[in-house]
Structure 1
Amino acid sequence: MTTLVVGIAMYLEGMAVSTWVMGAGGLITAWFVFGWFRDVVTEGVKGLYSDQVDRSLRWGMIWFIFSEIMFFAAFFGALFYARTLSVPWLSGEDAATSRMLWDSMALDWPTAGPANAGMEWQPMSAWPLPTINTMILLTSGMTLTVAHHALKAGNRAKLIGFMWATVLLGMIFIGLQGYEYYEAYAHLNLRMDTGIYGSTFFMLTGFHGMHVVIGTLMLLVITLRCMKGHFQPESHFGFEGAAWYWHFVDVVWLGLYIFVYIL
């Protein structure tokens, strides 16, 4: 991981060797991650985990999700600060701030900010793609819940079917978000450098999209494990941990849909 971070830093500095360092760091990180997960799966299947270890794993997942909540809270806070405080202040609500920084500037959200006030661009509408993606993600949460109940009931066919449906819905969400980004760049002139709106839009939706990719990969692995019979109705924390993460991703998207696309 250190090698990967150093490679990214070198890339940002424009160093020629950065690509090789990042590649090596990525391979090392992937090797350790896959090795660790392989050991966890093997130990779980062999029944080597005691009740205390199971509780430790659950608390570890809870704290991990809490850290993710704080991660997104910082970005939502940046959006709140820009919309509720900075834009009104620069538009004259705070006379001193307006006069000293951007005198006589009038801004309304969504805006690219004073420095890019003359840019020609359009904000992303809530319809149709974001609304369709919201319905897809909420449906995936329902199919995952049905699969969980099927696992606890010992209905293996229903479990596997609804797990594959959840993975498919996650992949559709990722594809539609990629198309949304294409529309933003190609037709709306909405880019990451489109001032404060562009930076907050891509920061929030981009990091969420990354979490959807990770969650979909987790669910894919869990689905394959379900097909191998790794989980039992009374013992399946690997499944539950992935489900917790996916439901967290659902909730974050609802916040994004309301505060980024609608309001």
Structure 2
Amino acid sequence: MIVKNEAENLAACLESVGDLADEIIIVDTGSTDNTVEIARSWATQIKHFIWIDDFAAARNESIKEAQGNWIFWMDADDRLSPDNVARLKQAAASGRADAYYCYVVSQFQNNQVAQDRIEHLRLFRNRRGVQFEFPLHEDAAPTAHRLGLTIARTNIVVNHTGYTADPQTLQAKARRNLQIIQAAHRQAPDNLYWRFHLGVTLHALGDLAGSIEHLAAVIANPPPFLDRDVYLYQAYEGLMLAYLHTGQTAQVRQILAQAEQEFGYRQHFWVRAGTIYLDLDEPEQAIEALEHART
């Protein structure tokens, strides 16, 4: 784990882990509250890391000295249910793969579960060379793929409570993220990975025109993302919602048709399509899409 000023969240996170972990390594990046004191009650190792605007660097520090056979990483505002602790144990013991995607499901201020589930590579064997990449939205999947690790999907759910914070805190996080993404984009302006994250972050900050510009560029020339189900699907979904929220209904339908061609096999696509058709005041199409999601 990497943490900073997570005194309100850390204990609940670690309590939810139960007996999953043989060792808990926590890297603090400059807390000024009692995060470190709370961590001492749980962690087998606490490390201090000077923050350099690079989440991957901090995350790599957290796994550098791990001794276990498997690594599972969390944020302080993540929670595991007992059922999902059991599923994690089963995945590690099964021998089915070397690394596993988990679903991260976010909750918002109204306590409704987000309709979309984002997949993260959260569980992987402790192999030399597996590292996180990208200064924001750090990801171990690129190196896992390059090393030839067998990767599998699971139904393991990590509940993320980070979006239950007050709007001012969420906006501050989004602005921080935007600065990191813009710096990376300036260094690699043709890198569509950063255009994807620019689109997502600008959407969160309410700049829908900017979001549309970047997400449309990603969809028009899809880069060879390691996992189209993760990144390209989110680009389609974000673009549909940005068009919807700006009243561009013809474009919504156009992107919806394209997304069906790409992702019609995904149950969640049909759930999202159903909600979009409802927003378009097309109840018959909404019912058809939601019925499709049930099959």
Q: TM-score range by the shorter chain?
A: under 0.3
Q: TM-score, normalization: structure 2?
A: 0.22
Larger RCO, structure (CA 8 Å, separation 6 or more): 1
Structure with more of its chain in strand, by fraction: 2
Q: TM-score, normalization: structure 1?
A: 0.24
Larger-gyration structure (1/2):
1
